[in-house]
Chain A
């Protein structure tokens, strides 16, 4: 399921049996050690109709509304003979009236909230709307006893089925229309068409998405378990709570929502978490499970396309870094978000990055990954070597393979850098600190810094470990630090085209390194390096990271 509701999962018979249940017809007797993927009795926090109070479930919320605000939803539903969609309109009508300051909305007749505009949820992910079939169920239980019990039960079952169908259709329609409406605020939802027509397809799509997203678990696990990465964000946020207190924060590419939750815990007033992948549905559940649903708003979509509930944010936090820093071009979206939403003087977290390059010399690596193809079980497979020199590799590089101190080739101040500056050709210079038999390639990595103000600067040649000693948060993805999931990027030199030759300790290599996106909007990255030794030996090569 693409939706996050645990409270009111449509019954199993409404969706393909394999979509939401791990159960199996032949096996209904296993009480022990066996739970549904999304337990149906699990309650979802509900925000009060007349206050911001969060209730554990819809029943307790309705009870309080009845007692404190003299608003009996069930009675109104019955008196006005409201069907499922009417009830949804009622809830949204009440919410919008209350938001406008009217705590005693007029619910004397259906006409008051007949407008289809009230189909649009006032609150994102309003658990009340998702719980309406629970309410219906309750009613059914209340009404069932009596002389005509049997007939009544049948009737109610039919009603329930109808409501459930409507419900799942509605939920899917909402899911879709939320996205549409966020961008096209004026466009009115036409329930008659929108809720019916494409539902079946969407149901299937939604469930296909759900399961295809399963594989991503491993990815998010790897990232969360990358303690160098996650600790740095956590440390910065938790050690600088004063920066986050009562602030509005935007998390670009929020994934499972971990950074958003750090910010919420640190006292942020509001966190808006945007991600354009299925994981946003898990993030939403996780946020609720941790009681942070009132602070964090999860929005699915591209940052360039969604409409945020605020005009400005005080802080943008994002873990946007790719291999060789800029692979996959997500940084463009962060820059877009900064220019569009960040308040003057607002803070980027992290605030600075530096890209580094060093020579790479590792005869064992060359033997096992390049020379290997010279003789594979008695066959010559050298044509397999071609890609090795066309594509940059992502690997952990042992420090023994780095025969020189690395050089910074691009400092990136996140508060000011522009997208245009991400395509570049920069000079570098390194001095060998040992003899090598051959220059096998170039290694590239990056360092990240988290400074507490948009005015803060980082020395161009800054090293994370030095900054840490000064009390700042930062980390390196280089070979001298603890391994991260970014590893290092290796660009192997084709010895077939550029005859390998030894270099001596103390020799200086100067050169230029260029980054270029394969094409506009592409994730792929082209890397060019030209180099020259102090004895006039020259070389140049092109790689792509894909």
Chain B
């Protein structure tokens, strides 16, 4: 198992221990293998992520000074401590996970216990020591921005606790798609099931085609320009907006084959004095979010300047709100009937 596959296997699935019910034997060893601090280590070592938060807070002490700050999903408490060091009057960190016990020790060791209050529980259930907060900070983003994300919790916190005129760090998230050439890896991931040690494994192939893949994509694999599909403004977005159906249009910048669409997101802290941004795209520095790959059933043969268009639809699964149902339709409309292609693929992130 390569490092990236290992990260995928545990990365996509890990945080859902409840999903282990019914799994036996061989599966179990993977799900249970990841060590709990491993995930926090990975996030803290994601330099792009942690630095962006640090800079957006440390560069703006005038915004944080004497303010009450709420950290939604505080984990090890790093963002809460950034805010406390930046001069906040008080910081409240909330997390459902037992990691909060560690966070309390960490806060104490760093002499910030009087500035930072950590509460374990659901945002909807905990009782905050302040009726309103001036600033909400949160690192809520998941794979494909929204998979197992805490955005709905952040929105609940905003609607319940944020004082009028209060600020949210970060407050803008924009999603993009682009098309890639990925013949070799598609063959490895999808074609693999055609012949497994001489056997036909097509039932597994059908499943594989519905699973988006979280992986790093090289810039040179991009066949088209990126297309911005949606922006969420955290000051105004509602939970209902997180189910969306948006068109996209991709223009090839070179003659090539298209095997997959990829998606990524950019994050902006626009409340900063000087806005701070970071991207999780293939052109940017590695982040633990990587990119999300959606293999198409067709292989499209495109010439430079030609356009593929379609619609991407995303909604939480009816039964398990943490899962995402994603439908991507595509149409490659050209006169050449041998290259014309049209279709639609369903994916589920679970």
Q: Contact string, A252-290, partner B, CB cutoff 8 A, digits 1/0? A: 010110100110010000000001111100100110011
- Could you say which of A18, A219, A224, A391 contacts B9, with CB atoms under 8 Å apart? A219
Q: List B residues 1-52 near A (Cβ within 8 Å).
A: 1, 5-6, 8-9, 12-13, 19, 22-30, 32-33, 35-37, 40-41, 44-45, 50
Q: Contact string, B201-245, partner A, CB cutoff 8 A, digits 1/0? A: 111101110110000000000000000000000000000000000
- Interchain nearest-CB distance for B204 vs A (Å): 6
- Could you say which of A37, A216, A290 contacts B27, with CB atoms under 8 Å apart? A216
**Complex: how many Å from CA A230 to CA B102?**
41
A-binding residues in B (CB < 8 A): 1, 5-6, 8-9, 12-13, 19, 22-30, 32-33, 35-37, 40-41, 44-45, 50, 54, 76, 78, 81-82, 85, 102, 105-106, 109-110, 189, 192, 196-204, 206-208, 210-211, 296-298, 313, 317-320, 323, 325, 327, 329, 341-346, 348, 350
Given the known inter-chain contacts A22-B210, A218-B12, please indicate yes or no for A387 contacting B35, CB distance below 8 A.
Answer: yes
- Interchain nearest-CB distance for B315 vs A (Å): 10
A-B contacts, 20 of them at CB < 8 A, read A27-B327, A32-B341, A34-B343, A35-B297, A208-B319, A211-B323, A216-B23, A216-B27, A220-B26, A220-B204, A221-B192, A222-B9, A276-B24, A277-B23, A278-B23, A289-B202, A386-B102, A388-B37, A523-B32, A546-B32
Neighbouring B residues of A381 by C-beta, 8 Å: 76, 106, 109
**Complex: how many Å from CA A275 to CA B22?**
11
Neighbouring A residues of B317 by C-beta, 8 Å: 18, 211
In the complex, are the beta carbons of A30 and B343 less than 8 A apart? yes
In the complex, are the beta carbons of B22 and A215 less than 8 A apart? no
In the complex, are the beta carbons of B81 and A379 less than 8 A apart? yes
Give the number of residue pairs across the A-B interface with Cβ within 8 Å.
Answer: 201
For chain A, which range describes its interface: under 10, 10 to 19, 20 to 34, or 35 or more residues?
Answer: 35 or more
- Could you say which of B29, B81, B201, B348 contacts A286, with CB atoms under 8 Å apart? B201
In the complex, are the beta carbons of B44 and A32 less than 8 A apart? no
Q: Is A214 located at the chain interface by the 8 A CB criterion?
A: yes
In the complex, are the beta carbons of A289 and B203 less than 8 A apart? yes
* Most chain B CB within a 10 A radius of its CB, from A34, A369, A379, A483: A379
* Most chain B CB within a 10 A radius of its CB, from A29, A30, A234: A30
Neighbouring A residues of B29 by C-beta, 8 Å: 322-323, 327-328
**Complex: how many Å from CA A383 to CA B40?**
13
Q: Is A74 located at the chain interface by the 8 A CB criterion?
A: no
**Complex: how many Å from CA A51 to CA B113?**
79
In the complex, are the beta carbons of B106 and A379 less than 8 A apart? yes
In the complex, are the beta carbons of B1 and A286 less than 8 A apart? no
- Interchain nearest-CB distance for A474 vs B (Å): 19
- Interchain nearest-CB distance for A208 vs B (Å): 6
- Could you say which of A34, A278, A382 contacts B297, with CB atoms under 8 Å apart? A34
Q: Is A460 located at the chain interface by the 8 A CB criterion?
A: no
Neighbouring B residues of A32 by C-beta, 8 Å: 298, 341-343
Q: Is A24 located at the chain interface by the 8 A CB criterion?
A: yes
- Could you say which of B110, B207, B319 contacts A379, with CB atoms under 8 Å apart? B110
Neighbouring B residues of A265 by C-beta, 8 Å: 198
